[in-house]
Structure 1
Amino acid sequence: MTPAAFAIPGDPDRLTGGFLYERRLLSGLRVLGHDVAYLRLPSSFPDPDPADMDRAVAMLNAVQPARPLILDGLVSGAIDPAGLARVRAPVIAMVHHPLALESGLDAARRDHLHRTERANLALCRHVLVPSPHTRAILTQRYDVDPERITVARPGVDRTRLPRDPATPPLILSVGILHPRKGHDVLIAALSLLPDLDWQAVIVGNPWDSDHAADLHSVIAASPVAARIRLAGRVGADRLQRLYARAAIFALATRYEGYGIVFDEALLNGLPVVSCRTGAVPDTVPEEAGLLTPPDDPAAFAAALRALLSDQARHGRMAAAACRAGHALPGWSDTARIASAVIDRVAEAG
């Protein structure tokens, strides 16, 4: 099998969908027989200081030309294009979503990231993306030839716990504590449902500490604060128990390049309430989810109310979620798609 290299910044065990994807992809490629060298780049990406930028460029330039080099999107979207141009190995970018589409950026930062990522994508031999939506964004806004883009949808683990629904019904949200995930919108929506019986748990690594503190304050000020728990980071076993006990999966996201948590919700037979943004409409089947406009707590609350108040509808959507979950690909499928890309890039020289 073709040898390769995979460059990921910082701790690869961080609890985000993107890092989970890359851990599973690295493991899957090795299972298939690829000799994949793992490069741990500075954790400061996508905002490296000059020393970290120079160190990263040097590490990438040390990769031999015979090893196609997969670059995590935090690197491929932010590394100095002049430095990337000196890399001898053929580069495959792994773009979960373009960095310029992140929430909370000022205009200058957004423009810089767009120009940098666009220049770097022009230097890459190929691009791996998790969804057709991300492929469309790269072709329309970044001028990437669609022939150079391959969709490698995230896989799922088939193992799950038996259903054990909690009383009152548990609304589960999973996503890093970052403004893009819209947990503030979810809390505002829940505050509009004091008359219904429910409890809510928000699971997520405090990626943005200031935002995490803000969320605690928002919950404390809510009239339903006693029913909302901000659980922070939890272990895999605890998360599986929460999925098994939940009645609804809710994520009021402002943007998703894919959203692995939606697949986990479907696999566990949970109806989904989320937002019509990014790749969410492509990821959540219409019959298994209710999608609202982003940043609209009233609409989000109405969707939650519809599922909490109508058990027949909830049952139909839960059954549809189960069917969709059973049809999802496994991680071995994701690895095989990426493996074929590595081989093609190597053969092209």
Structure 2
Amino acid sequence: MKNIYFIIPDFGKSLTGGTIYDDQVIRELKKSHLSIKDIRVSPKVSSITLLRKIQLIPKHNTIILDGFLANRLKKRVINNLKILVHHPCSLEISNNQMKNIGLYFSERRAFNMADSLITVSKHMKSVLLKYLDSQKNICVAYPGIDDEYYNIKPDCTSSNILSIGNIIPRKGYHFLIKALSEVNYDWNLNIIGDHNLDINYFNHLKRIISKHKLENKIKFLGVLGKDSVIKEMKRSRIFMLLTQYEGFGMSIVESASAGLEVITSDLPVLREVLKNSNTEFVDAENSCQISDLVESKLNSKNIPQEFSEKKFRWNSTSKIIKASL
């Protein structure tokens, strides 16, 4: 019997949308009686170590390699190779891949060596097509949203604002703090995410907070489990993330599904996945527009419309991936 080998980065206690996706897909595929074996490697694994692990996998088995590791792949492998791309790492700091040209060409080489690709949104499929030298099958398998999020009733009278995402520049927390510093209304911001991934950026945010004297209004809660995240959602009214780039935007869609009023960046992928939700799309750098919008929402007595469309299911995700194998 052929096996499917998932090779995925192990970020330890840090949670990313990609980590959640990989773990859920593995869990769902095992339910369908496929022989799944997962291989966890360091996010900093070397090209040589990654190749050795791949070479230990018997021939004629299928490998699904998390796209975070793709730039480490230097040689074509004999197995059926699929690369699961949440978003290219070369777009982590800019939506212009030429800003990190070495990483771009490493990923481009790897994507072209794969037999096929899997990704998480139609927009990301269009992005990946630009990396390919020739036509290749790209399967779109949206992430799922757990039922618990649809059953949340947020506090519509609260002045609490929630943001979820690791503390890295791409998530745009510097834009968020600046915009909130201009809000003339009582508010509190709780941020869930790992602040150890980029200490320089975290310290930069703390300096911005100190400059605007917001120490008593902004809390970094660190990495929280699902139950604690849901608890924070229930006591919040607004979700904000002025992200610069997303492959899907897991925490944003979860928050919209939970019924929070969402303010986020105007990105094509977010327009795609948040269609029919209670979401306001903004220019992340327009602090005046954003602060006015926050004030309006906090002043409003209207009960937000629920995002009732349950179109994102993990069993659907796994079925699509299974069909592509």
TM-score for the superposition, normalised by structure 1: 0.86
59-68 or 168-177, which deviates more: 59-68
248-257 or 157-166, which deviates more: 157-166
Q: Structure 1 residues 167, 225: closer, same or farther in 2, change over 3 A?
A: farther
Instruction: Please point out which of 315, 319, 322 is paired with 1:336.
Output: 319
Residue 132 of structure 1 deviates from its aligned partner by 0.6
Q: Structure 1 residues 93, 12: closer, same or farther in 2, change over 3 A?
A: farther
Match of 1:79 in 2: 72
Q: Answer yes or no: is 1:234 the counterpart of 2:224.
A: yes
Quote the Cα distance in structure 1 between the aligned partners of 2:78 and 2:94.
35
Q: Structure 1 residues 224, 43: closer, same or farther in 2, change over 3 A?
A: closer
Match of 1:196 in 2: 185
Q: Structure 1 residues 287, 233: closer, same or farther in 2, change over 3 A?
A: closer
Quote the Cα distance in structure 1 between the aligned partners of 2:276 and 2:290.
16
Match of 2:38 in 1: 38
Q: Answer yes or no: is 1:279 the counterpart of 2:269.
A: yes
274-283 or 177-186, which deviates more: 274-283
271-280 or 104-113, which deviates more: 104-113
Unmatched tracts of structure 2, length 5 or more: none
Number of residues of Structure 1 aligned to a counterpart in Structure 2: 323
Structure whose residues are more often helix by fraction? 1
Residue 166 of structure 1 deviates from its aligned partner by 7.3
Q: Is the 2:158–2:235 contact (alpha carbons within 8 Å) kept by the matching residues of 1?
A: no
Q: Is the 2:154–2:237 contact (alpha carbons within 8 Å) kept by the matching residues of 1?
A: no
Quote the Cα distance in structure 2 between the aligned partners of 1:14 and 1:153.
22
- Over the matched positions of the two proteins, sequence identity in percent amounts to 24
Q: Is the 2:14–2:223 contact (alpha carbons within 8 Å) kept by the matching residues of 1?
A: no
Match of 2:144 in 1: 155
Unmatched tracts of structure 1, length 5 or more: 343-349
Q: What does 1:112-127 align with in structure 2 at a 5 Å threshold?
A: 112-127=102-117
Question: Residue 225 of structure 1: SS of its match in structure 2?
Answer: coil
Q: Structure 1 residues 122, 212: closer, same or farther in 2, change over 3 A?
A: same
Match of 1:266 in 2: 256
Q: Is the 1:182–1:295 contact (alpha carbons within 8 Å) kept by the matching residues of 2?
A: no
Q: Structure 1 residues 268, 296: closer, same or farther in 2, change over 3 A?
A: same
Residue 117 of structure 1 deviates from its aligned partner by 1.1
Question: Residue 147 of structure 2: SS of its match in structure 1?
Answer: coil
Match of 2:307 in 1: 322
Q: Structure 1 residues 162, 80: closer, same or farther in 2, change over 3 A?
A: closer
Residue 196 of structure 1 deviates from its aligned partner by 1.1
Residue 293 of structure 1 deviates from its aligned partner by 1.8
Quote the Cα distance in structure 2 between the aligned partners of 1:144 and 1:214.
43
Q: Is the 1:129–1:152 contact (alpha carbons within 8 Å) kept by the matching residues of 2?
A: yes
Residue 162 of structure 1 deviates from its aligned partner by 4.4
Residue 121 of structure 1 deviates from its aligned partner by 0.9
Question: Residue 246 of structure 1: SS of its match in structure 2?
Answer: coil
Q: What does 1:36-185 align with in structure 2 at a 5 Å threshold?
A: 36-44=36-44, 48=45, 52-76=46-70, 78-81=71-74, 83=75, 85=76, 87-103=77-93, 110-143=100-133, 145=135, 148-160=137-149, 162-163=152-153, 165=155, 168-185=158-175
Question: Residue 279 of structure 1: SS of its match in structure 2?
Answer: helix
Amino acid at match of 2:40: R
Q: Is the 1:158–1:267 contact (alpha carbons within 8 Å) kept by the matching residues of 2?
A: no
Map Cα deviations across residues 260-293 of structure 1 (whole Å, 9 max, x no partner).
Answer: 1122112211121000125111122255111112
Q: Is the 1:10–1:42 contact (alpha carbons within 8 Å) kept by the matching residues of 2?
A: yes
Map Cα deviations across residues 89-110 of structure 1 (whole Å, 9 max, x no partner).
Answer: 1111010111111116998871
Match of 1:18 in 2: 18
RMSD value over aligned CA atoms? 2.3
Quote the Cα distance in structure 2 between the aligned partners of 1:242 and 1:334.
27
Question: Residue 216 of structure 2: SS of its match in structure 1?
Answer: helix
Q: Is the 1:254–1:295 contact (alpha carbons within 8 Å) kept by the matching residues of 2?
A: no
Quote the Cα distance in structure 1 between the aligned partners of 2:47 and 2:282.
40
